[in-house]
Amino acid sequence: MYLHELKIGNVTLKNNILLAPMAGITNLPFRSICEEFRTSV
C-alpha cells in the first residue's frame, strides 16, 4: 500500500486512507481497532 498526501478542494489530508461512517453496522471493538490504527499512522 502506498501512503501519500490527499487533497480534496482546499483540504489536505496527510494520507490517503479513509473509512466511511458505518452507523448501525459496526460495533465498539471494530471502532476501537480503527482508533488504534488511526493514532499509529
Whole-structure pTM value: 0.45
SS3 for 11? Answer: strand
- DSSP-derived 3-state class of residue 12: strand
Return the pLDDT at 41.
54
| Every domain of the chain and the residues it spans | 6-40
Q: How far apart are CA 6 and CA 12, in angstroms?
A: 6
d(Cα 3, Cα 17) in Å, to the nearest integer? 8
Tens digit of each residue's pLDDT (9 = 90 or more) over 1-41: 678 999 999 999 988 888 777 778 878 888 888 888 776 55
Return the bridge partners of 11, or none.
8
What 3 state SS string does 22-40 have? CCCCCCHHHHHHHHHHHHH
